[in-house]
Amino acid sequence: MPEISGLIPVAAALLALTGALLLIAALFALRRARLWRFGWRTLVGALLLSAGFVLAGLHGYSRLTHEALAATISVRPAGPQRFDATFRFPDGRVAVYRLAGDEIYVDARILKWKPAANLIGVHTLWSLDRVAGRYRSLEQERAAARTIHTLAAETPVDLFEIRRRFAWLAPLYDAEYGSASFVAVNGPAELELRVSTTGLLIRPAPAR
């Protein structure tokens, strides 16, 4: 689905641009006292502009069905309580992170849409957020070197931040839910990072 994903920013920009142009046209109609044109142009323009912002915000998120492969992870020890984690994402991207600790930890954000949004076909979405090293010892977790990296895709509109700022969006979606998973790194391993309806899962990759 990389091709479709690449079209999302273009579609969002076209919707927002069309909406903005209609709003400008509505102002001209108001100046000429053409109230009917002003009314429909304002309504349609606002709807298209809003749709463009929402679509831009959805870029970087993936639809959550029963279970989805978020990434395959290759872990390799790089010293005492140090290891490299190579993430291979379904869209072909590859990223390598040096982590400190005994375990690899990954978390994600979950966007849960309310029934009003479900009616137009928008369902639960997810986006990876961070990867970090995790110590088994609580004392080390407090005092030893911490390593954390972002996994979040860049997006022009952050739907989580918008939801937290504007309470009037509460009837549309819930941005309060997160999920995390971690597993021990005892040696070289191939792992799968999956997102299910119950949250994140990290488990051994099937043998090939």
Compute the distance between CA of residue 146 and CA of residue 133 in angstroms, rounded to an integer: 7
User: pTM of the prediction?
Assistant: 0.62
Sort strands 148-150 and 67-79 into parallel, antiparallel or unpaired.
Answer: unpaired
Say yes or no: 25 and 70 in one domain: no
Number of domains in the chain: 2
> Can you give the pLDDT at residue 2?
43
> Can you give the pLDDT at residue 174?
58
Cβ neighbours for 192, distance < 8 A, ≥ 6 positions apart: 69, 71, 72, 73, 201, 202, 203, 204, 205, 206
Say yes or no: 146 and 53 in one domain: no
> Can you give the pLDDT at residue 47?
78
Say yes or no: 39 and 135 in one domain: no
Cβ neighbours for 128, distance < 8 A, ≥ 6 positions apart: 70, 71, 106, 107, 108, 151, 152, 153, 193
Say yes or no: 128 and 185 in one domain: yes
Compute the distance between CA of residue 190 and CA of residue 192 in angstroms, rounded to an integer: 7
Boundary-marking domain end, from 34, 58, 82:
58
Structural domain of 9: 2-58
Say yes or no: 123 and 33 in one domain: no
Say yes or no: 45 and 116 in one domain: no
> Can you give the pLDDT at residue 163?
62
Residues of the chain with pLDDT under 50: 1-5, 60, 116, 118-120
Cβ neighbours for 5, distance < 8 A, ≥ 6 positions apart: 59, 91
Residue 118: CB atoms within 10 Å:
13
Q: 3-state class of 166 per DSSP?
A: coil
> Can you give the pLDDT at residue 109?
83
Sort strands 173-184 and 148-150 into parallel, antiparallel or unpaired.
Answer: unpaired
End-to-end Cα distance, the chain: 24
> Can you give the pLDDT at residue 127?
83
> Can you give the pLDDT at residue 205?
92
Q: What is the helix (H) or strand (E) element at residue 56, kind and residue range? A: helix 35-58
